[in-house]
Structure 1
Amino acid sequence: MATTFSIVIPTQNRAGLLARVVRAFLEQEGVSFELIVVDDGSTDATPEALEALKDPRLLVLRQPNRGLAQARNAGLARARGAYVLFNDDDVVPEEGFLQAHLELHRRYPAAAAVSRLYLPESLGQHPFVRYWRARMESGVRGRPDGAPLGWGGFWFASLSLPRALAEAFAPFAGYGWEEHELGWRLWRKGVRPRLARKARAAHEDRVGLEAALAKQESMGRMAWRFYRLHPHPLVALWTGVHPLSRAYKRLAYPWARAEQLLRERAWEEAPGASGRYRFLLEAAYTRGLLEGAPG
């Protein structure tokens, strides 16, 4: 029987959560698939956790720590399905997930299907978690199944596309823009991301403000890597590397103001916290963008 989906899951040191994700995929029904887990140099109990999940559909690849892009590329190189689905090791699919992806591909043969992710209530109700939950939903709220998401809609935390259209990820030295860079290449080939609304998955992302700020700062630095790969005016504006964008951001999101907000955190429980969270994330991105600018 031909394999419909090759599911590629890169992982590092998330043994317990990874086991939940793998089990949730192995319970999917109605669609043939292979599950390729790429262990990117884990030092925890990941090998033992995977060994316990004996299933002929599960293939485990192990490599020294090379980063997310190289792990995904290793999985892609072994994929044999008609479609490849990249799924992070903290994204737990619900029942009917693969079937929903397949239905969208049948409707839109040259599309990339983007899963509908949500932050589960089990992650708590801290003000920043509530903000992050609302932010995640804002991009898809009210959109129907199959809705186009634009060139920024490639979200490889959980996304599938025809294997014949898939390309390798370009490695970045830090967090940020890796997925969008590949999305830019796919967009220019005519691949359009569309929302697979019925492909729901819990994103078990235990994000905190400090971790989010560190990611945003790294993303600002990595914007230059994206632009060097694609020195296009739209990329310059999108990433903020354009001189006018940088000048605006320097004035609008001063890091000194961010430091003040981080010292005095009582505002988190007050009305208007969402606006301050947005400012902090933009300020962190701007800080990385300015620090990463070529001398």
Structure 2
Amino acid sequence: MEPTFSVVIPTFNRAQLLARTVQAFLAQQGVSFELIVVDDGSSDPTPEVLAGFRDPRLRVLRQPNAGLAAARNAGLAQAQGRYVLFNDDDVVPEAGFLRAHLGLHQRYKGAAGVSRTYVPEALGHTPFTRFWRARAEAGVRGKADGAPLGWGGFWFTSLSLPLKLAEAFAPFRGYGWEEHELGWRLWRKGVRPRLVAGARAAHEDRVDLDTMLAKARSMGRVAWEFYRLHPSVQVAFWTGVHPLSRAYKRWAYPWARAESFLKQRDWEQGAGAFAIYRFLLEAAYTQGLLEGQGG
């Protein structure tokens, strides 16, 4: 009998986090599912960790390292459920997670369900962690279950949709925009992302400013790949590749000013830290846009 959900988890060298996520999924009750973990060429103890789970619902696929999109696509190709749920290896679901996703799909046919992820308090309270916690949760805070999230709502770490509507991810050459690009295609076909408020999951990724600046810069470069796949005015302004957007960003977020903030970080303890973090991320993204223009 086909499972209700195929949960696809790509992973690369995060054995400890993966173990927690797999264990939390295998503890889900009330919904039939298969758990497909795609090991994208890990060199850490990931294979041993996965071998320690003795559960017929768990299927492990292994491939040479090919990136997040390729790992997700490999899992999707093997999915047999009525719905597929893409979940990052550091997103640990709470009890009732799959039941909440099923409930949304029963109420909203043909929708995509976006999990209610949050940055747990256990990850700490450094100035940047507090900023990132507020930023990551701002888009869904106060929204009701089933609330529409708009075309930008496809930026996800955990999302479900009917398997018959699922499509492969574009293999971009770097971090960023993969979910948005898939979401853009789905949106144009009438698939709308909705919040699954009862599907709570802890996003256990430990972030820091330097890592997120590198990711923002990569997103700026990858924005061009997104635009070349979908060369429209909407995508140009959304990603910032439009000449008017780039001109504004170069003026508003000069990298020279960003470098001055990064050289001396005593401002991180001040009241204006969040505003400076936002500026730095925008400046890094702008640098990526300028670098990716000729790619």
The residue number in structure 1 matching 2:75 is 75
Distance 2:155 2:8 in 1: 14
Q: How does 1:1-295 map to 2 (within 5 A)?
A: 1-294=1-294
Q: TM-score, normalized by length of structure 2?
A: 0.99
Distance 1:258 1:132 in 2: 18
Distance 1:32 1:156 in 2: 23
Amino acid at match of 1:266: D
Amino acid at match of 1:283: A
C-alpha displacement of 1:88: 0.2
C-alpha displacement of 1:259: 0.3
Distance 2:62 2:70 in 1: 12
Q: Which runs of 5+ in 1 are unaligned?
A: none
C-alpha displacement of 1:219: 0.2
C-alpha displacement of 1:193: 0.2
Q: TM-score, normalized by length of structure 1?
A: 0.99
C-alpha displacement of 1:157: 1.1
Give per-residue Cα distances to partners, 1:244-284, cap 9 Å, x unaligned.
00000000000000000001101000001100000000000
% identity of equivalent residues: 75
Distance 1:179 1:46 in 2: 25
Distance 1:94 1:103 in 2: 15
Q: Which runs of 5+ in 2 are unaligned?
A: none
Q: Which moved more, 1:80-89 or 1:135-144?
A: 135-144
Give per-residue Cα distances to partners, 1:40-97, cap 9 Å, x unaligned.
0000000000000110000000000000000000000000000000000000000000
Give per-residue Cα distances to partners, 1:87-118, cap 9 Å, x unaligned.
00000000000000000000001100000110
Q: Which moved more, 1:280-289 or 1:155-164?
A: 155-164
1:201 is paired with a residue whose SS is strand
Distance 1:24 1:178 in 2: 26
Give per-residue Cα distances to partners, 1:102-136, cap 9 Å, x unaligned.
00000001100000110001110000000000001
Equivalences, count:
295
2:28 is paired with a residue whose SS is coil
C-alpha displacement of 1:172: 0.5
1:104 is paired with a residue whose SS is helix
Distance 1:215 1:155 in 2: 14
Distance 2:54 2:199 in 1: 25
Distance 1:5 1:36 in 2: 10
Shift >4 Å, 4+ stretches:
none
Distance 2:110 2:29 in 1: 24
Give per-residue Cα distances to partners, 1:184-235, cap 9 Å, x unaligned.
0000000000000110000001010000000000000000000000001100
1:39 is paired with a residue whose SS is strand
